[in-house]
Amino acid sequence: MPLMIIHGDITEQKCDAIVNAANEELQAGGGVCGAIFAKAGHERLQQLCNQIGYCPTGSAVATDGLDLCRYIIHAVGPVWQGGNRDETALLERAYESALSLADELKLESIAFPLISSGIYGYPRDDAFEVAVEVIGHYLNHSDLQVRLVIFDDPSSYFRDKQAVIRHEYEAQLATAEEDYDMPDYLKRKLQVNAPSFSADHSSHTPYTFGLIHGRDREESTPFPSSVLEMITSAPDIQPSEDSFSVALFKLIDAKEMLDTDVYRRANMDRRLFSKIRSDEHYQPSRATAVALVIALKLDLDQANELLEKAGYRIGHSSLFDAVIEHCLTHGIYNIHDVNELLFVHGQKLLGSSN
């Protein structure tokens, strides 16, 4: 744990193993395969592959990683033929074979490309969903660190999912100034950290309601200045009695959940979870706090009640918040499904390994 989804180059990943999107003959090819052969040393890697000779579709084999990593795992995905030739089952088996091989080799970390989504023609959005589902299921029973490395710009696909969230987000922004009921605790927090802004109500001042402690401010989105004026003039109040950590573990006990269930559902490294359990004053990042909300399957009101204890709230001011609100209101509590939506919208993913 956890699954990390990264936009980047798989040959640059520092893991025990990287996965090559291989062909059955284990010959150097184009795309991801060509990049791995080039970086590892074409002749040396080809010699290792020739010693194995063949790997059927849906299977995986391992060679030495040469200068890239400990191992290169060569997984053979299917060529897309319209979806009626068991392509999905074969792609699932390719990921499962690579993960099983990682287990046999006692690896701690592995990086995958989006298998079959290049010259093999598997639709990228469907290939992505297969990868996330198979890897996510595997991680329900494993502490392997997995990276899914996407080379292409995700904004070029997942357009249906982007359209739904962005429509909701734009609707929220359009009505936010009229309908937003700012809680007293947030008014107090923002009064301390509020930026300077123009008194002209027709202007829009960048600010992010989702993060209110002033640490690591994320990209903000325009919000009406008149709302900011209301915030900065708000009175002070006392913080809630329970800390985030105390409230969190009360909820876990009430739901009769095991710690292992919670940190795996939150896409969280168990060492971080242990740190939160051992320190009742632990201050989580927003991504970590929201990941725990998803793990506990809280509704929007319950989520904000818990998040307020860490100084956060799911509001209407950022695309991140829009994605999370969409998931909570539509009952999407699989952390990997949530992270898929966050990834395709260019937002910070949930969970943490440190």
> Helix 244-254 vs helix 270-278: angle between axes, to the nearest 10 degrees?
110
**The pLDDT of residue 86 is above 50:** yes
- Local confidence band at 144 (pLDDT 50, 70, 90 cut-offs): very high
Lowest mean pLDDT among 47-56, 73-82, 90-99, 224-233: 224-233
Return the minimum-mean-pLDDT range out of 69-78, 249-258, 336-345: 336-345
Domain with CATH 3.40.220.10 in the chain: 3-156
* Owner of token pair 């402690």: 213
Average pLDDT of every residue of the chain: 81
What's the length of the chain?
354
Tell me the C-alpha distance between 266 and 117, whole Å: 28
* Residue 270, amino acid: R
Q: In whole angstroms, give the CA distance from residue 279 to residue 277.
A: 6
CA 353 to chain centre: 12
Residue 206, CB-side half-sphere exposure with 13 Å CA sphere: 5
For residue 155, the model assigns a pLDDT of: 62
The closest of 52, 137, 49, 122 to 91, measured between CA atoms, is 122
Report the pLDDT value the prediction gives residue 125, as an integer from 0 to 100: 87
Q: What is the DSSP letter of 81?
A: S
Strand (E) positions, 177-279? 204-207, 221-224
End-to-end CA distance of the chain: 11
pLDDT exceeds 60 at position 182:
no
Find out whether the peptide bond into 2 is cis, omega within 30 degrees of 0: yes
Residue 262 belongs to what H/E stretch? helix 259-265
Q: So what's the pLDDT on residue 195?
A: 37
Average pLDDT over residues 204-221: 34
Half-sphere exposure of 199 (CA within 13 A, CB side): 0
**pLDDT at residue 188 tops 60:** no
The Cα 30–Cα 39 span in angstroms is: 13
Average pLDDT for residues 138-146, to the nearest whole number? 90
Q: Taking Cα atoms as reference points, which of 198, 190, 217, 185 lies closest to residue 307?
A: 185
More confidently predicted of 184 and 323:
323
- DSSP H/E element including 95: helix 87-104
154: confidence class by pLDDT, cuts 50, 70, 90: low
Cα 313–chain centre separation: 19
Please give the residue that has the higher pLDDT: either 316 or 297.
297
Residue 143 tokens read as 């502490």
Predicted confidence at residue 23, as pLDDT, reads 97
Q: Residue 176 has what pLDDT? A: 53
Residues 11-61: tens digit of each pLDDT: 999 999 999 999 999 999 999 999 999 999 999 999 999 999 999 999 999
Number of Cα atoms under 13 Å in the Cβ half of residue 221: 17
The CATH class given to the 3-156 domain equals: alpha beta
Q: How confident is the model at residue 147 (pLDDT cuts 50, 70, 90)?
A: very high
